[in-house]
Amino acid sequence: MVRVGIINVTGYAGAELARLLYAHPEARLTSVSGRSAAGKPLAEVFPHLAAYDLTLGEEIGDVDFAFSALPHAASAEALAPLVRAGVPVVDISADFRLRDPQEYARWYGCEHPAPDLLARAAYGLTELNRDAVRSSRLVANPGCYPESALLALAPAVKEGIVGPDVIIDSKSGVSGAGRTLGLAYHFAEANESVSAYGLAGHRHLPEIVQELTAMWPQAEVPSPPQPKVTFTPHLIPMTRGILSTCYAPLLPGAVQNGEQARELYREFYRGEPFVRVVDSPPASKQVAGSNVCLVHPTVDARTERLVVVSVIDNLVKGAAGQAIQNMNAMLGLNETAGLETPAVYP
Amino acid sequence: MVRVGIINVTGYAGAELARLLYAHPEARLTSVSGRSAAGKPLAEVFPHLAAYDLTLGEEIGDVDFAFSALPHAASAEALAPLVRAGVPVVDISADFRLRDPQEYARWYGCEHPAPDLLARAAYGLTELNRDAVRSSRLVANPGCYPESALLALAPAVKEGIVGPDVIIDSKSGVSGAGRTLGLAYHFAEANESVSAYGLAGHRHLPEIVQELTAMWPQAEVPSPPQPKVTFTPHLIPMTRGILSTCYAPLLPGAVQNGEQARELYREFYRGEPFVRVVDSPPASKQVAGSNVCLVHPTVDARTERLVVVSVIDNLVKGAAGQAIQNMNAMLGLNETAGLETPAVYP
Amino acid sequence: MVRVGIINVTGYAGAELARLLYAHPEARLTSVSGRSAAGKPLAEVFPHLAAYDLTLGEEIGDVDFAFSALPHAASAEALAPLVRAGVPVVDISADFRLRDPQEYARWYGCEHPAPDLLARAAYGLTELNRDAVRSSRLVANPGCYPESALLALAPAVKEGIVGPDVIIDSKSGVSGAGRTLGLAYHFAEANESVSAYGLAGHRHLPEIVQELTAMWPQAEVPSPPQPKVTFTPHLIPMTRGILSTCYAPLLPGAVQNGEQARELYREFYRGEPFVRVVDSPPASKQVAGSNVCLVHPTVDARTERLVVVSVIDNLVKGAAGQAIQNMNAMLGLNETAGLETPAVYP
Amino acid sequence: MVRVGIINVTGYAGAELARLLYAHPEARLTSVSGRSAAGKPLAEVFPHLAAYDLTLGEEIGDVDFAFSALPHAASAEALAPLVRAGVPVVDISADFRLRDPQEYARWYGCEHPAPDLLARAAYGLTELNRDAVRSSRLVANPGCYPESALLALAPAVKEGIVGPDVIIDSKSGVSGAGRTLGLAYHFAEANESVSAYGLAGHRHLPEIVQELTAMWPQAEVPSPPQPKVTFTPHLIPMTRGILSTCYAPLLPGAVQNGEQARELYREFYRGEPFVRVVDSPPASKQVAGSNVCLVHPTVDARTERLVVVSVIDNLVKGAAGQAIQNMNAMLGLNETAGLETPAVYP
C-alpha cells in the first residue's frame, strides 16, 4: 500500500482526491493538511468523508507520495523540499505547468518560488505525455480548461489536419472557481445566469499555447506556425463539468466529414482507457464524477472548419482524477486503479 | 462471482443499479433487459455505462440473482416465475411492500398479480428488518420516501418516546419521478420552482403507516395506537436527494433536549454502516451518490415536539443502493460490498 | 408624484424595491443610499437598474416616503429621526415587528434602539391589518416566512376551525439569505442540495407566534389557547420563492373536505387583489416576480388535519412588493399601484 | 386602445406576449387561440395570467393587430388570410425570415405555404431594420439566436472592421426549446449538464448568414465576401437567457483595443433604448424578463480578433419583447411602450 498525503485538502480538488483515493486498491490516504482547519477531523470539515479517520495537520506527515492542492506559489514552496528529498509528487496548482519562469511571472504576478525545479517537471496530461510522466517524480497536473481543450485538439494538431487559427470556447460549472467565496459564485448571482470572463487573458491560455505549440508537427512544416489561440471561458449554472467547443480551419484535403474526423481521433486515442470518441454530441452529465473525457469531432463543410466538442468533470479528469492517473503512471500501477467507477448519472 | 440480472434497466433506478454493481467485488452484472430498448447495447442507452459490454434483451438470461426495476404490477408478473424457481430477487417496485392485497388494490388501482407470494416477501429496510431480509428470497425494496421517513422515526417510535401524531414533510429531487416525460418534470417548469403534490394521498403513505404501526411498542401500550400520519411530498429543483422533516409529539419525560435524542438515536443505530446520526442539520448533497442516510433528531422544547431531519440519495439509499444492500444481506455477503465509495461532493 | 427614498439599496430587497418602483404610476424613486457603495451610480451597482439616473448617497435626501432595507438595529436607528420628523416609512427589517422589546432583545441579541416608537408601529401584513396600516406612519414589513405562513393560516385561525397545534414547514430560495456571502450560499454548496436550518429557533418564529396569537378568536374561547407553533425553514436550490406547508388539527365539525376549506378561504380573501385561493397545489414559479400569494388549503381526512400550502416570491410579496403595497395603503393610493404585472413564467 | 390577438398562446412565446401586453399602455390583449386548449380559460392554462379574463378560441377573433406564435408552416398558413385582409401582423415563427423559398424548403423540410407574401415581409430586428419594419404590415420576428448574434456583430460588420471568418458560439437556457416535452429537456437530464447540438447545421444559421451578408459594406469591397459563419448552439441548465460569444478577425488598423471597439459600438447604437454597450462582460441574469440586449465587444490583441459577448432574454428580446417592439414600430407607437420594466434580478 502506497501511503499518500494531500497538502491542503480543504478545497474542492483536495476533497475530491480524498474521495477518489478511498476506492484506490493500492494506495491509502494517510495524511492530510490544511492550515485554516488544522487540528480538525477530516469528517468535520467534509461530512461526506466521514469514513476516514484522519485529522488535518499543519503539514502532512511521512508519506510515499504527495499531492499538493495548494494555491500557486504556496504550492511550489511546499513541494520543493519534498521533491528535493525524492518524494514523488503531483502538483495540482499551476506552479510547474509553464516551462518558462518569465512567462510564469507574467501571468501569475510573482517570481517562481523554485525555478530550478522546472526542468524536472513533466506536464501531466498522461494521454499526451505518458513517457515523461512515468519517468518523472514531479508532475504538473494540467489546468481544467487546458485538459479539456488539449484532449479535443491534440489529434487534429498532431496529425496535421488543421491550421493554427484556433478558437476555444469553454463552459464551466462553478466548482471550478473553488471554495473561496465571491459574489460571482454566490448562489443567487450564479444561478439562472451565464457569463464570460477572463476576456483580457485567462491564466490557462499560456498553458494551452505552450502545449499546442509543442504538438505542432515539425516534420511537415519547416517553420511550424505559432498557434493563434483565442480562449474564452464561461461560467454556467451547474456545479461540475466543463464543455469545450474548439474551432480550427481544416487544411485542404485533410478530412472530408465528421466520420473521417472521428475515425482519425479513434485511431489516435486507441487503447486509452479514459478518452472516448463519441458519435453524437456529448453532455457533461455523462462524465460527472468520473475520469472520462468524451470527444466529438465534427466538420463544418460549409466553412471548412473542424469543430470539436469535449466534456470532462472539472474536478476529476480536470483535477483530482487526472492527478491520480498521473500517480498511477509514476508508480507503475495500473493507470486506471481507483478510477474505474462509472459516472454518476443523472 | 454472483451473476446478477436487472429487469428493466432503462429507468433511473435500473441504471443506478448497473452503476453501483460495476464496483461490486463479488457480483457481476451479466444480463439486462428493457423492452423498449431491447437489442440495443447498454452503452448506447446510457453512455455513462459504456464500460459494460452488455446488450439489452427482451428478458434477462440465466442469473443467480435478479433485481426488478419494472413499474408496479408488471414487476410482480415478471418476478413471480423467478421467485417460484427459487431465484433470489429484490423488487424495486411497490408490488411486495404492502402485506394486504386489498390495500394494494386500493392504492395501486389493480388487483395484485401474485398475492400468494406476499407472505414470502420481506420488507427490505435492512437496518430495521435485517433478520427477515437475510432469510428471504423475495425482498420488497422500500419506496424512497418511506426509506427516509422510517429511518428518521424508527428509533423514536421503537423506543417509545413519541405519540402517534406524526407529520412527515418530504422534499425530493426530480429524478424521483423517473425518466418518463411529464410537464411537471420539464426543465423550464421544474427549475426555479417548488411545489407540493400527492396531497390527496400519496402511494407511499400506506407503506409508511404499515411499517410505523408494526414498530409501535406493544409491551408498553396495551392497545397500541394507530399512528396518525400526514405525509406531504414536495418536488424541488434538483436532480438527486430527499430530505424528510418529521414531527411527532414527545411523550412526557422521554428526552429533554436534542443531545439526549441524538444519544438515543446513536445507540439505536450503533454499528450500522449506512446510518449516521449527526450533530448539525445535514444537507442532501452530503450523501449524493452514496448509500448513506444522515439523521438529525432535535427537540423543540417550546412545543414538546421531536423534529427529525433525514437525508438520503433517492436513487441510492432510496432505491438501487438499498437494493444492493439487501442483496448482500440475502446472499450472506458483507453488507457494504459495492457500496463503500463516499458521496460525490460538491 | 410621491418622492421616494430607499435606505440601503444595496441588498436584494433594496434592489427589488427600486425595480418595482420604476413602474409605479404615482411614486418616483428620487434618492437611494448605501454606505459601502456611496458615491457610485446605481447603474454600476446593479446593471439591471441602468434606467435610473441615481447615485448612492451616504444618507437619503429629502423625500416624501422612505423605505429602509437596512439590517435590524441599524434600521431603527436610521428610521427614528424620520419617524419623529413625520415622514411616513416602511421598515423592511425586523425592528418594529415584535411589540415587546424584551422579546426583541431575546431574539435579536441587542437592546431595541427605539422602543418608544414600537407603539406607533403597525404590522404590515396589509390583508390582515389594513386599517392599522392605513392610519400608521411607521409600518413594519413582515418577514418573508411569516408572510407566507400567516396568509396560509389566518382564515383557519380567525374562523376558528383549527386547534393550536401548528406546524409550519417552509422551503425558501437562496435569495432570502441576502447578498452577504456565506459558505451555505456558495453556488457549489447550495446547488443540488436541500437542508433545514434554524431548528433551535428561527427569528421569524416569535413574529409568527405573536401574530397567530392575536388572531385567535376571543369570543369562542374564554381563555384563548397559546398556539404551539413549530417552524422549520429549509434552503432549496433556487433563487426566488417560498413555499410554506402548514399543518393544524381540524376542530370537530369545522370543515369536511378540501372544497369546504377552500370555500371558507375564498370567502375570507374575497376582494383581495393579491391573495388567490387555488384548487390545485401551486408552484412557486407561478408567482415569481409578482406580488401574488397563492393559497391552497386541503383536508387530510384520515388524520383530521388541515394542510395549507402557500407560495410567494420572497423578494416581492415577502419583502419589496408587500412594502409598496403598504406604502400605497398608507398614502391612500390604489393598493395595486405598481404591482400589477403578472409573474415571470417560466 | 389597439385590440391585439395572439394565435397559439399555449407555448412560452405566446404566454410571454400575454405577460408583456398586460402592462402595455396602448394595446389590450382581447383574443387568444390555441387548438389543444380551445375552450379553456387562459387562467387555467397559465395560472400566472389569471388577471386576464380570456378564454382560448380555436381561432382569434376580430383584432387590430395579431401575433402568431404557431410553429413554422402552420404560422404562414394561419397568417396569410390576415395579411391579405390588411391586418398588421408579427410572425414569431420562422416562416417569413428567409427571403428565398428554396432556402426555406431546404432547412424546414416543406414547401413554403405562402411564397407570394415573402416580398412583403420585413425582417424584424428593429434596431437594424427600422424603416422597413415601420412601413411593413408583415414582420418576421427574428430567431432568438440570430437576435443575439446579429446585435453583437452588426456594428463590426457594417463599419467594416472585421473579415468574413465568423464563429458564433451561443449558450441558451432550456425554455428556448419550448414547452413540448423531450428527453433532452427532462429536468433530470438537462440539469447539471451542458451540451452542444445542431452541429450539422441549425435552422438559425441560414437566417444569420442572410442578414450578415446583407450587412456587408458594399462600397468598400467590390465583391463583398460571403461571410463564412460557423454557429454552435449549446443547451445550459437555466430557464431563460442566451449568451452569444462571437469571434471575427479584425481588419488591419481597424480598432486597436476593446475601448475603441466599444466606442465604435456605442456610436452605432446611440439612441437605441434596448441595446446597451457595456464595459465589463455581461451576465444573462442582468436582462432576465426584460427587452434589453447587453453587448460587450473586446479585442484579443494577441490574435487580432474581435470577440463580442451579447446577452438577451430569449423569451423577451429573443421573442415576445422584440415582437412587441416591432408592433410598436409598425403602429407608430412609442417603441418602448410596454417594455420598460427593468430585469428581474437576481
pLDDT, tens digit, 9 for 90 and up, residues A240-275: 999 999 999 999 998 999 999 999 999 999 999 999
Judge residue A64's burial from the number of C-beta atoms within 10 Å of its C-beta, 0-12 exposed, 13-18 middle, 19 or more buried.
middle
Mutation test of the interface with chain B: which of C148, C162, C189, C194, choosing the one with the most B Cβ atoms within 10 A?
Answer: C194
Query: Is the confidence at residue D220, as pLDDT, over 60?
Result: no
Please give the pLDDT value at position D218: 72
Q: How far is C335 from chain D (nearest CA, A)?
A: 16
Please give the pLDDT value at position D4: 98
Mutation test of the interface with chain A: which of D170, D193, D257, choosing the one with the most A Cβ atoms within 10 A?
Answer: D193
Please give the pLDDT value at position A225: 75
> Can you tell me the mean pLDDT for D141-167?
97
Better-predicted residue by pLDDT, D5 or B222:
D5
Mutation test of the interface with chain A: which of C12, C187, C313, C344, choosing the one with the most A Cβ atoms within 10 A?
Answer: C187
> Is residue A53 very low, low, confident or very high in pLDDT (cuts 50, 70, 90)?
very high
Query: Is the confidence at residue B3, as pLDDT, over 90?
Result: yes
Please give the pLDDT value at position D36: 87
> Is residue A222 very low, low, confident or very high in pLDDT (cuts 50, 70, 90)?
low
Q: Please check whether residue D201 touches B, CB under 8 A.
A: no
**Cβ neighbours of B252 (radius 10 Å):** 7
ipTM: 0.97
Q: pLDDT averaged over chain B?
A: 96
Query: Is the confidence at residue B183, as pLDDT, over 80?
Result: yes
Please give the pLDDT value at position B219: 58
Q: Considering only alpha carbons, which residue of chain C is nearest residue D18?
A: C342
pTM, two decimal places: 0.98
Q: Please check whether residue C15 touches D, CB under 8 A.
A: yes
Q: pLDDT averaged over chain A?
A: 96
- The residues of D carrying an active-site annotation are 144
Give the residue from D94, D43, D103 showing the smallest Cα distance to D69.
D94
Query: Is the confidence at residue A220, as pLDDT, over 70?
Result: no
Please state, in angstroms and rounded to a whole number, the distance separating the CA atoms of residues C216 and A103: 73
Mutation test of the interface with chain B: which of C166, C169, C302, choosing the one with the most B Cβ atoms within 10 A?
Answer: C169
Query: Is the confidence at residue A4, as pLDDT, over 90?
Result: yes
CB contact under 8 A, B237 and D185: no
For A50, residues 6+ apart whose C-beta sits below 8 A from its C-beta are: A43, B276
CB contact under 8 A, B191 and D187: yes
pLDDT, tens digit, 9 for 90 and up, residues B82-124: 999 999 999 999 999 999 999 999 999 999 999 999 999 999 9
Judge residue A102's burial from the number of C-beta atoms within 10 Å of its C-beta, 0-12 exposed, 13-18 middle, 19 or more buried.
exposed
Q: pLDDT averaged over chain D?
A: 96
- Contact list in C for residue A12 (CB cut-off 8 A) is 188
Query: Is the confidence at residue D224, as pLDDT, over 80?
Result: no
- Contact list in A for residue B286 (CB cut-off 8 A) is 47-48
pLDDT, tens digit, 9 for 90 and up, residues B307-331: 999 999 999 999 999 999 999 999 9
Query: Is the confidence at residue B221, as pLDDT, over 80?
Result: no
Query: Is the confidence at residue D253, as pLDDT, over 70?
Result: yes
Judge residue D122's burial from the number of C-beta atoms within 10 Å of its C-beta, 0-12 exposed, 13-18 middle, 19 or more buried.
buried
> Can you tell me the mean pLDDT for D95-121?
97
Number of Cβ pairs < 8 A linking chain A and chain D: 158
Please give the pLDDT value at position C222: 62
> Is the link from the previous residue into A342 a cis peptide, with omega within 30 of 0?
no
pLDDT, tens digit, 9 for 90 and up, residues C7-20: 999 999 999 999 99
Q: Considering only alpha carbons, which residue of chain A is nearest residue C239?
A: A188
Q: Please check whether residue C192 touches A, CB under 8 A.
A: yes
**Cβ neighbours of C332 (radius 10 Å):** 8
The percent of residues in chain D predicted with pLDDT above 70, rounded, is 98
Beta bridge partner(s), residue B67: B6, B90
Q: Using DSSP, state whether D140 is helix, strand or coil.
A: strand
Asked if B188 and D174 touch (Cβ cutoff 8 Å), the reply is yes
Looking at residue B291, its amino acid is: N
Please give the pLDDT value at position B222: 61
Please give the pLDDT value at position C248: 98
All chains having 3 or more CB pairs closer than 8 angstroms to chain C: A, B, D
> Grid coordinates standing for B338?
459495492
> Grid coordinates standing for D223?
465583391
> Is residue A10 very low, low, confident or very high in pLDDT (cuts 50, 70, 90)?
very high
> Is residue C219 very low, low, confident or very high in pLDDT (cuts 50, 70, 90)?
low
Please state, in angstroms and rounded to a whole number, the distance separating the CA atoms of residues D343 and C50: 10
Please give the pLDDT value at position B280: 96
Query: Is the confidence at residue D221, as pLDDT, over 60?
Result: no
Asked if A1 and A26 touch (Cβ cutoff 8 Å), the reply is yes
Which residues numbered 269-298 in A keep a CB inside 8 Å of some CB on C?
Answer: none
Please give the pLDDT value at position C36: 87
- Contact list in A for residue D236 (CB cut-off 8 A) is 171, 194, 236-238
The percent of residues in chain C predicted with pLDDT above 70, rounded, is 98
Q: Which runs of consecutive H residues, i.e. helices, occur in chain C?
A: 12-21, 42-45, 74-84, 101-108, 126-134, 144-158, 187-190, 204-215, 258-268, 321-331
> Can you tell me the mean pLDDT for D196-211?
97
Query: Is the confidence at residue A317, as pLDDT, over 70?
Result: yes
Please state, in angstroms and rounded to a whole number, the distance separating the CA atoms of residues D313 and D285: 8
Q: pLDDT averaged over chain C?
A: 96
Please give the pLDDT value at position C217: 82
Query: Is the confidence at residue D225, as pLDDT, over 80?
Result: no
pLDDT, tens digit, 9 for 90 and up, residues C81-104: 999 999 999 999 999 999 999 999
Asked if C187 and B233 touch (Cβ cutoff 8 Å), the reply is no
Q: Which of A228, A241, A302 sits opposite D193 (nearest CB)?
A: A241
Please state, in angstroms and rounded to a whole number, the distance separating the CA atoms of residues C242 and C232: 12
> Can you tell me the mean pLDDT for A24-46?
96
Q: Which of B237, B243, B309 sits opposite C238 (nearest CB)?
A: B237
> Is residue D289 very low, low, confident or very high in pLDDT (cuts 50, 70, 90)?
very high
Q: Which of C179, C187, C192 sits opposite A190 (nearest CB)?
A: C187
Asked if B239 and B180 touch (Cβ cutoff 8 Å), the reply is no
B138: region left, alpha or beta (phi > 0 left; psi from -120 to 50 alpha): beta
CB contact under 8 A, D23 and C289: no
Q: Please check whether residue C237 touches A, CB under 8 A.
A: yes
Query: Is the confidence at residue B36, as pLDDT, over 90?
Result: no
Q: Please check whether residue D110 touches B, CB under 8 A.
A: no
> Can you tell me the mean pLDDT for D134-159?
98
The percent of residues in chain A predicted with pLDDT above 70, rounded, is 98
| Residues comprising chain B, all counted | 346
- Contact list in A for residue D228 (CB cut-off 8 A) is 302-303
**Cβ neighbours of C281 (radius 10 Å):** 21
What is the three-state SS of C74-119? HHHHHHHHHHHCCCCEEECCCCCCCCCHHHHHHHHCCCCCCHHHHH
Please state, in angstroms and rounded to a whole number, the distance separating the CA atoms of residues A108 and A71: 11
> Is residue D62 very low, low, confident or very high in pLDDT (cuts 50, 70, 90)?
very high
Least confident among B170-179, B224-233, D328-337: B224-233
Query: Is the confidence at residue A24, as pLDDT, over 70?
Result: yes
Place of cell 504538473: A140
